[in-house]
Structure 1
Amino acid sequence: MFVQHDSHQTLSYRGAAGTTRAQDGDEGAGDSLEDAAHDEREHARERLREESGREPTEEEVSEWLRQQTEGY
């Protein structure tokens, strides 16, 4: 989940453990595309876990991600 802070629009990412990682300027420059994909899958897994009350399968996570990006 991305959160906007202050008027200079620093974005933070709240991880599954509740930790926050600022992404302002060069601080997030070390993140790779693989990291972003992993974070996206973890977000999907967390959402599905909350909705269903159980651990989702990989197929369910992939399907949820497909549905979310289908309109783009």
Structure 2
Amino acid sequence: MPRYPSSSILKAYFPDVLFNKNNTAQLIKWFSNFRFVVVVLVDVYVVVVNDGVLLLLSIMLLLLFSILLTLKI
């Protein structure tokens, strides 16, 4: 899986957007950040399941905490 989507892929999925150099770079950066958040969430989920914590509430709280840390809120 490529780290960043290409501009041709972005143009195919967002035909209503007029792409230029600035907004294309911004969309690529957003998708990269989104991919990073998803990877962090999956890592947290795997650790929690491996540690035997199977309560859904505990998993949800850990995932929320991970999102907040990633977004630095």
- Same fold per TM (> 0.5)? no
Larger Rg: 2
**Which range, TM-score by smaller chain?**
0.3 to 0.5
Q: TM-score, structure 1 length as denominator?
A: 0.40
Higher relative contact order (CA 8 A, sep 6+): 2
Larger helix fraction of residues: 2
Q: TM-score, structure 2 length as denominator?
A: 0.39
Larger strand fraction of residues: 1
